[in-house]
C-alpha cells in the first residue's frame, strides 16, 4: 500500500505538471490555484486528516505573513491546501532544477529564493513584499530547512525583514504530525492526522526596542509552546 500511495502521488504530480505546461500556452504565469488543487489532491491521496485550530484568526480582507515550523515536505501541501485566500509560498530555487516540475515552478506566481547569493535573496524578499502589497499572503519557514524531528531550529531573519518592510502582520502557525507521515530523507508516505494551529496575529508596527531579534524570539517561542500543546 505505501508503494501504491507513492505511485499515485507521483502520477498526480505529473498530471498537474502537464496541466501547468498546457496552461502556459495561454498565459505567461501559472495561477496559484493550480498549486492549491495539487495540494488538496495529494492530501486526499495520502490520507491526511487535517484538524485546523484558530482559523478565525485569519481575516479574509487582510494579507499576512504566515510563519511556520518545518519538519517535513508535507508541510507545503498541507498548508497550501488548507489556508484560505491568495497564499504564496517562498521556495528554494534549487527546486527549479527538477525536470518539468521545476520549469512550472519558475513560471508560477510563487516566490523563489536563491540562498547562495545574498543579493539575489534580497531581491526575492522585495518580490515577496510586492506580492503582499498586491493583496497576497506569504508562507515562510524561517528555520530555512526541514528539521530532523520535532525540535524547532533557530529562525533566520529573512521573513521578519519582509514583515518589517511591508508592515504586514505575522501569524505564527504550528504544524504537528507531518514528520510522522513523511520524515525528512524518507519516501514512504503514511496516512494519518495532522494538526494546524493558527495563532492570533502579531502587529509588527508595535515591535519593541529589541526589533527583529525580539520578534524572531517571540514568534519562535509561541510556536514551540503551541507545539507542546497540540502534539500531546
Mean pLDDT to the nearest integer, 135-153: 79
Grid cell of 143 as nine digits: 528555520
CA distances (Å), 60 to each of 56, 64, 70, 130, 159, in order?
10, 10, 25, 19, 21
Report field, pTM of the whole predicted structure over 0.75: yes
Please write the tens of the pLDDT for every residue from 40-78: 999 999 999 999 999 999 998 899 999 999 988 899 899
Mean pLDDT to the nearest integer, 82-108: 78
The total of structural domains in the chain comes to 1
Strands (E), the chain: 48-53, 65-68, 87-92, 111-113, 137-140, 170-176, 192-198
Residue 109 is part of which domain span? 2-230
Residue 159 belongs to domain with CATH number? 3.40.1130.10
Amino acid at each position: 500500500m505505501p508503494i501504491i500511495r507513492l505511485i499515485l502521488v507521483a502520477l498526480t504530480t505529473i498530471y498537474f505538471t502537464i496541466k501547468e505546461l498546457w496552461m502556459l500556452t495561454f498565459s505567461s504565469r501559472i495561477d496559484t490555484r493550480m498549486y492549491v488543487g495539487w495540494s488538496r489532491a495529494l492530501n486526499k491521496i495520502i490520507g491526511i486528516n487535517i484538524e485546523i485550530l484558530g482559523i478565525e484568526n485569519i481575516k479574509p480582507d487582510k494579507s499576512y505573513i504566515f510563519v511556520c515550523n518545518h519538519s517535513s515536505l508535507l508541510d507545503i501541501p498541507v498548508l497550501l491546501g488548507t489556508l484560505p485566500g491568495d497564499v504564496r509560498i517562498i521556495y528554494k530555487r534549487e527546486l527549479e532544477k527538477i525536470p518539468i516540475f521545476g520549469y512550472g515552478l519558475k513560471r508560477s506566481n510563487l516566490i523563489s529564493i536563491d540562498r547562495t547569493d545574498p543579493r539575489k535573496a534580497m531581491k526575492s524578499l522585495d518580490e515577496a513584499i510586492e506580492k503582499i502589497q498586491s493583496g497576497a499572503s506569504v508562507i515562510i519557514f524561517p528555520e530555512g530547512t526541514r528539521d530532523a524531528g520535532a525540535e524547532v531550529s533557530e529562525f533566520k531573519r529573512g521573513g521578519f525583514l519582509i514583515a518589517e518592510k511591508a508592515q504586514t502582520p505575522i501569524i505564527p502557525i504550528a504544524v504537528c504530525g507531518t514528520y510522522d507521515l513523511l520524515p525528512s530523507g524518507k519516501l514512504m508516505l503514511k496516512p494519518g492526522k495532522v494538526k494546524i494551529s493558527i495563532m492570533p496575529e502579531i502587529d509588527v508596527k508595535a515591535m519593541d526596542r529589541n526589533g527583529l531579534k525580539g520578534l524572531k524570539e517571540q514568534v519562535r517561542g509561541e510556536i514551540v509552546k503551541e507545539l507542546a500543546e497540540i502534539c500531546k
